[in-house]
Amino acid sequence: MRGLSGIPHGILSMGRPDRVQRRREMAEATWYAWTLKDLIRYFYLLGLLAAVLLVPLQMADSWIPYRGPPLLDPAVIGAFIVMFLVISLYLGVQGYIFFWRQDGVMDRLIARHEARETPAETGAKDDPR
């Protein structure tokens, strides 16, 4: 259900029950689930941030050398930088949505891994947990 702003209702609310539920899910997650859901997500976003910050600097440094004439017109370089930023941010957001959405790739990988894991394989017999 969407509100007047077009944003689904649970996204902007910072209600206490949602926060408690999320914290409980994070505390009960396995190492495999935590790695796929949190650690890889942080590295993905860090890589995207590094690309967005460093590639335009490298483009400008390569095409406008220090103490030399520019190889390309600075307006063309600026257009390339803007195009790179728009395309990389769009692809980065689409990739993030693809991998970490509800029932996305990471959730399916975690479910497949947990379905493969049986009590006989882990050595736990009739474990009440």
pLDDT in tens, 28-53: 888 888 888 889 999 999 999 999 99
User: pLDDT band at residue 16, thresholds of 50, 70 and 90?
Assistant: low
Q: Check if the beta carbon of residue 32 is closer than 8 Å to that of residue 106.
A: no
The number of angstroms, rounded, from the C-alpha of 73 to the middle of its chain's C-alpha atoms is: 35
Give the separation between CA 99 and CA 70, rounded to whole angstroms.
Answer: 40
Task: For 57-108, write each residue's pLDDT tens digit.
Answer: 999 888 888 888 888 888 999 999 999 999 999 999 999 999 988 888 988 9
Give the separation between CA 22 and CA 7, rounded to whole angstroms.
Answer: 20
Mean pLDDT confidence for 1-29: 64
Q: Check if the beta carbon of residue 97 is closer than 8 Å to that of residue 53.
A: no
